[in-house]
Amino acid sequence: MSVSFPDLLDPRKAVAQRAVFEGELALWRLPRLAPLLWQAEVDGPEQQDGSEDGGSVRYRFEFGPDADGRGTARGRVAGQLPLRCQRCFERCELAVDAEVRLALVSGIDEAKVLPPQYEPLMIEDRLMRPTDLIEDELILAVPAIPRHPEGDCEPPRLLAGGPLTSAGGEQQASVAETSTHPFAGLAALRQERDDPKSQD
């Protein structure tokens, strides 16, 4: 039998009880994830509760000892995240289906010697917020620059209606590309600096 995550959970007790948690979580309940998501505020306050339009994910976590007696939590988080495409600035959906294998540890030393299949779950206090496990996983899944698949959308046509007034026509064509290589200028600068042209 499984229940949904409580607000607070004693992970050691959950391991001892081999507890299973399963349910659906509305994304608006995850405050660290929320700023990364598409915000539909424009449509007014009717959707304030966010439960339908804001999206949700399904999860299942099983706690219990592994073969070595180590306290573990194995979970899966799946759903669609509404993000803002950084090419066209419209909404795009990211399908997430993440498997999590955590081992309870009470310090860095314990974390260091974990077998590679586990991520450490640091237990500082007796109780933890179990939805943090879901939120951490979703935050990891969000790409640095969310975008629709290549060719599915175009940048907004801000430049429609003629060439730029200043600084040469070449700039107009390369605006979209420049934004995808924010460090290109920096790299060039570094190269110049590292160039050993002034040897003493």
Interface residues with Zn ion (CB under 5 A) are 85, 87-88, 148, 153
- Closest distance of CB 55 from Zn ion, Å: 18
Contact 63, 9 (CB under 8 A): no
Nearest to Zn ion of 177, 195 (CB atom): 177
The sign one gets for the Cα dihedral 47, 53, 54, 58 is positive
Nearest to Zn ion of 125, 150 (CB atom): 150
Nearest to Zn ion of 60, 148 (CB atom): 148
Distance between CA atoms of residues 160 and 158, nearest Å:
6
- Closest distance of CB 56 from Zn ion, Å: 23
Contact 71, 11 (CB under 8 A): yes
Q: What is the phi-psi region of residue 64: left when phi exceeds 0, alpha when psi lies from -120 to 50, beta otherwise?
A: left
- Closest distance of CB 35 from Zn ion, Å: 19
Distance between CA atoms of residues 128 and 7, nearest Å:
8
Q: Could you give the residue ranges of the DSSP H alpha helices within the chain?
A: 11-16, 108-112, 131-141, 170-173, 175-180, 184-194
Nearest to Zn ion of 57, 85 (CB atom): 85
Strand spans (E) along 35-185: 56-65, 71-84, 91-105, 119-122
Residue 13, φ and ψ in degrees, nearest 5: -65, -40
Nearest to Zn ion of 94, 153 (CB atom): 153
Nearest to Zn ion of 151, 168 (CB atom): 151
- Closest distance of CB 161 from Zn ion, Å: 22
- Closest distance of CB 176 from Zn ion, Å: 12
- Closest distance of CB 147 from Zn ion, Å: 6
